[in-house]
Each structure stands twice: as structure tokens, then as C-alpha cells.
Amino acid sequence: MTIAATEPLVDVRADFPILEREIGGKRLVYLDSASTSQKPTQMIEAVDSHFRRTNANIHRGVYALAQEATDLFEGARQRIASFVGDSYQTTIFTKNATEAINLVAYSWGGANVGPGDEVLITQMEHHSNIVPWQLLCQRTGATLRYLSVSETGELSLAELDAVLAEGRVKLVGVTHVSNVLGTINPVAEIAARARAAGAVTLVDGSQAVPQMTVDLSELGADFYAWTGHKALGPTGIGILHGRRELLEAMPPFLSGGDMIASVSFEGSTWNDLPFKFEAGTSPVAEGIGLGAAIDYLDTIGMDRIRAHETDLTAYALERVIEVDGLRVFGPLDPERRGGVVSFAIDGIHPHDVAELCDREAVCVRAGHHCAQPLMRRMDVPATARASFHVYNAREDVDRLVDALRGAREVFGL
């Protein structure tokens, strides 16, 4: 397949001020969006405007300024919920995806998982969707099991069925899109099969929400976690969506102000959803910023963003293999993967790859990508990873390929 050079499907680079930067006299090429995304002016200005014009604590004040801040924050929650097809009450703000998953592991897990039960996750999870389950299993005497990842970086529904048929799985945890392999997992199918077997599903959507349409009303997962900073929003805000009956039955996770209905010397009662799971002062500016980021994504259209990223991924997959000795991990069909390409080059450690790319002002990530078990499965200590977002263009991929060729020359290869 030869891909003709075309204009980017979406050219929004002017909206991202950081992309005007040069590093060492070279135009910055940012290819690490799977780690954190860059931020559009529209989001930056929403946060700036909040601090300049509407800053006050929310949910408490009776004065107009506090009401304005509350309306902005809760309005953002409403739009964020609609953006992914969920309702306001079941859209809970956390610090990040990691905290959202911990919330489920502690609150739901503590109440529903016990000795003899199993938690089933996959070999391609981020540490954020492994370690909370390891700790839950240690606390409760349950067993943690892993679905295997194939040579092409995919899961097997037959293996899922076989494990579910044993009848001990209480929860299936799976990433929607792998941050290393790019694999898009069939999460609706997984959730349906888990439910039929009496298990609940938690989907880690950290890499999915930023780059594709996610409609939770169709997905059928019981819990869905994601993180704002990868979706053009600020750091310090994540989201947990949950099935209402489950959230209502769950005990609080963190406790203190705001999550209570009443407190007496003897005990407390809990606030309604979503506030029951939001202890303490909320991430007000972060919520408002994420609302603006979502508006921005929505205006472009998630289907166009996905098409743009698929085009870039296809182009990258075609171009990087021009580099001698380069091996790509994950599915080779761009339609079956997100905008992330992990690779290794024979004879050069991934950290050296990233460092030599940096000399060309090309930012790629090197390491285990918080997925050490997956590295072990793939039999590599680390990979280099290029990942894309709406502000990247084919010329960024060209710059990457030039930098990789240069790296081989430095190593005398």
C-alpha cells in the first residue's frame, strides 16, 4: 500500500501554542500524546478565564461568584457525560484514571470480592489497571488472572469464554486501547460475555476517549475510567463512569467534606451521586478546562479525529519499516489500532533511540510505558513509542523517520 502525500485531514496545529516552539533551533515535533496530550488555546483560555474572573469554591457559597463557578464546573460535567453517552449522576470526577480504577477496586472490590473469587485482567494492561487488582486480591484472598496477548498483540474471546465458564470471575478489567500496542479491544463484546457470566466489567478508556467516539450507552461496561490530560484537558482530573445501581450500592472511597449528606458525632450519611465519591474541594479549574477540551474535540468531531489518526498511523506504519532493523509491535492493520506505534531497532536500546530523536527535537517515549508485564510477554526490556494526536501531520512522521535513520548512523549501523 502506498500512501500519497496529502494535506492533513485536520490541520489545527495553530490552536496549540506549544507547537510553535523550537528546540535546539529545530521545530518541535511532539509524538508522545499517549503519555499526555498538548493543549489547545481554547482550553488554556477557559482555565485562565476561570482564575481571572470566576474563581470561588463550589457547591457551598450562596454569593453570585460561587454560583457562577459551580455552574461552570457542573456544566462541564454535564457536557463531559454527554460526550461519552453517559448521564450526569454517574459521571464522577477523580484525580486521574488511576484514582478512578482504585475507587472501583477499593469500594466495589472491597464489598464484592472475597476468597475463592477471581479478578480477570489482561497481559496488556497499564500498571494502573494491574496494581489496584493485585492489592485487592492480596486484601481479600481472591486470585488475579490474566488473559494472554497473542503474537499480533490481540486478545482471544475464546480464552475469555473459557475462563468465564469456570464460574469464579467477579470482575473483568480491560483496556479499551492499548497504550503500547495500540490494539483496539472488542470491549462491548467482552462486557456482554462477562455480564452473561455474572461478572462486572471495568474498561480503562484512557487511550480511547482522546481519539475515537466512545458511546457508553452502547458499550455496556459497568465501569469506564479515563483521564483528562490525554484528552487535551489539564492534569489533575480523571473520570469514572459507573452503572448507577452499582455506584449506589457501593460504600464511599475517600471521605470528608462534600461527599456527605449529614455528619453527627456518631456517624455520617452520604451525599447523592456523583458527589458521594467526590471528597473535598473539587478540581474546579481542571473540570472547567476539561469541559473546554471536550467542546474543542466535539467541534472538530471525533470521527474526523479518528480518521486523521488512522491516516497518520497507516503512514507511520508504512514509513518506519523503511528503517533497517526496525520491528513494530501490535496489529499491523491501522483500522484495528489507535494512534500509537511502538517499535524496537536492532542494535540500539530504546532509550538511545529516544535520546537521539530528541537531538532532532522529535519527542518519543522510551521505556516500559507502565506495562512491565506486557514487556515480559513481548520479551523486550522496553520499546520506543511514537504516538499521535489531532495536531500531528505526516511531516512529523517524516521527521521521525529521518531521526531514526540518523540514530542508526550514530551507532555505525
Closest CB 141 distance from ligand PLP, rounded Å: 26
Is 121 or 323 the residue whose CB approaches ligand PLP more closely? 121
Is 117 or 204 the residue whose CB approaches ligand PLP more closely? 204
Residue type, 110: G
User: How far lies 52's CA from each of 49, 135, 285, 291, 382, in Å?
Assistant: 5, 42, 11, 17, 44
Catalytic residue among 137, 357, 363, 370: 370
Is 176 or 408 the residue whose CB approaches ligand PLP more closely? 176
Is 207 or 271 the residue whose CB approaches ligand PLP more closely? 207
Return the residue matching grid coordinates 497507516.
314
Closest CB 206 distance from ligand PLP, rounded Å: 4
Closest CB 3 distance from ligand PLP, rounded Å: 27
Q: Report d(CA 288, CA 295) in Å as an integer.
A: 11
Residue 3 φ then ψ, to 5°: -100, 120
**Is-contact 127 375, C-beta < 8 A?**
no
Is 202 or 247 the residue whose CB approaches ligand PLP more closely? 202
Cell numbers representing residue 20 in the block? 510553535
Of 389, 404, 344, 401, residue with least CA distance to 209:
389
Q: Is the dihedral of CA 148, 150, 153, 154 positive or negative?
A: negative
Is 370 or 413 the residue whose CB approaches ligand PLP more closely? 370
Is 38 or 54 the residue whose CB approaches ligand PLP more closely? 38
Is 19 or 370 the residue whose CB approaches ligand PLP more closely? 370
Closest CB 78 distance from ligand PLP, rounded Å: 22
Q: What is the DSSP string of 395-411?
A: HHHHHHHHHHHHHHHHT
User: How far lies 142's CA from each of 119, 312, 345, in Å?
Assistant: 7, 43, 40
Convert 248-273 to b/e letters by CB count within 10 Å (16 or more is b): eebebbbeeebbbeeeeeeeeebbeb
Identify the helix (H) or strand (E) that includes residue 101: helix 97-103
Closest CB 360 distance from ligand PLP, rounded Å: 24
Closest CB 211 distance from ligand PLP, rounded Å: 12
Q: Which residues bind ligand PLP (CB under 6 A)?
A: 96-98, 126, 128-129, 175, 179, 204, 206-207, 227, 229, 238, 370
The angle, 0 to 180 degrees and rounded to 10, between the axes of the packed helices 41-49 and 284-300 is 150
User: How far lies 114's CA from each of 99, 138, 253, in Å?
Assistant: 22, 10, 18
The separation between the first and the last C-alpha atoms of the chain, rounded to the nearest angstrom, is 27
**Is-contact 319 402, C-beta < 8 A?**
no
**Is-contact 110 133, C-beta < 8 A?**
no
Q: Report d(CA 252, CA 327) in Å as an integer.
A: 46
The angle at the Cα of 94, spanning 291 to 81, to the nearest 5 degrees, equals 40
Closest CB 61 distance from ligand PLP, rounded Å: 30
How many angstroms from the chain centroid is the CA of residue 152? 21
Cell numbers representing residue 279 in the block? 471528597
Closest CB 221 distance from ligand PLP, rounded Å: 14
- The alpha helices in 250-393, defined as continuous H runs, are 284-300, 302-320, 350-359, 372-378
* Residue 370 bears catalytic tag: yes
Active site residues: 370
